[in-house]
Amino acid sequence: MATISLNHYLIVGAVLFCTGLFTMMTKRNAIGILIGVELVLNSVNVNLIAFDRYLGPNRMDGQLMALFVIVLAAAEAALAVGICINLYKNVATVDVDRATSLRG
């Protein structure tokens, strides 16, 4: 049975990134796009932690960064949902294609 190596983690990270990117590009719903962003941020965390584990014994930079990324994702999500609620109150939709009063 093969051991799990750095490559496996990186592949998981890349798959998460691609899924997130695909979600961001295809979804028209603002909440859907934000879910895509969260997926990408989680792929970043997988990469950072995996690099820390495999690159050397005393590495903390990546893990610290992962902690910050988690906080960042939470802050962004909180603000984003607030802004989406504001849009919903004004336009009665969170579909970004139907928010069309600004053009040109």
Partner 1 sequence: MTLLGQTSAWSGIPVGEHLWVFSPMIALIATMLAVVACPIVVGRSARTIARVATLGVIVTLGLTLATWGEVSTNPVSGLSTQPTSGMLIADNLSIGFQVILMVFLLGVIYLWKIGSAGSEENAPEFFILLLGSALGMILMVSTSNLLMIVLGIEMASLPSYAIVGFNKRDRKGAEASVKYMIFGAVCAAIMLYGVSLLYGMVGSLSVADLARYTVEQFAGGQHPLLLSVGLLCLLVGPAFKISAVPFHFWCPDAFEGARIEVTTWLSVASKAAGLILLARMVSTFAGAVDEPLAMSVLKPLAWTIGIMAAVTCTLGNFAAYPQQSVKRLLAYSSIAHAGYMMMAVAVFLHPQADRSGEPMAALMFYIIVYVFMNLGAFGVTALVSWETGSDRIEGFTGLMRRAPWLAVPMVVCLISLVGLPPMAGFLAKWWVLVALGSLADGWGANLAWFLIIVAVVNTLISLYYYLRIVVVMTLRDTGEPVIRSPIGGLALVNFCALMLLALLVVSAPLKATADRFSRNLFDATTVTQPAGEPVAAALDRAD
Report if residue 12 touches partner 1, rule: CB under 8 A: no
Nearer to partner 1, 1 or 68 (CB): 68
Among 19, 62, 70, 74, binds partner 1 (CB under 8 A): 62
Rounded Cα distance between 8 and 29, Å, is: 32
Secondary element (H or E) of residue 14: helix 6-26
Cross-strand bridge partners of residue 95: 29
The number of beta carbons lying within 10 Å of the beta carbon of residue 42 is 20
Do 34 and 80 touch, CB atoms closer than 8 A? yes
Which residues contribute to the site for partner 1 (CB under 8 A)? Answer: 3, 5-7, 10, 13, 17, 20-21, 24, 30, 33-34, 36-37, 40-41, 43-44, 47-48, 50-51, 54-56, 58-62, 64-65, 68-69, 72, 75-76, 79-80, 82-84, 86-87, 89-91, 94, 96, 99, 101-102, 104
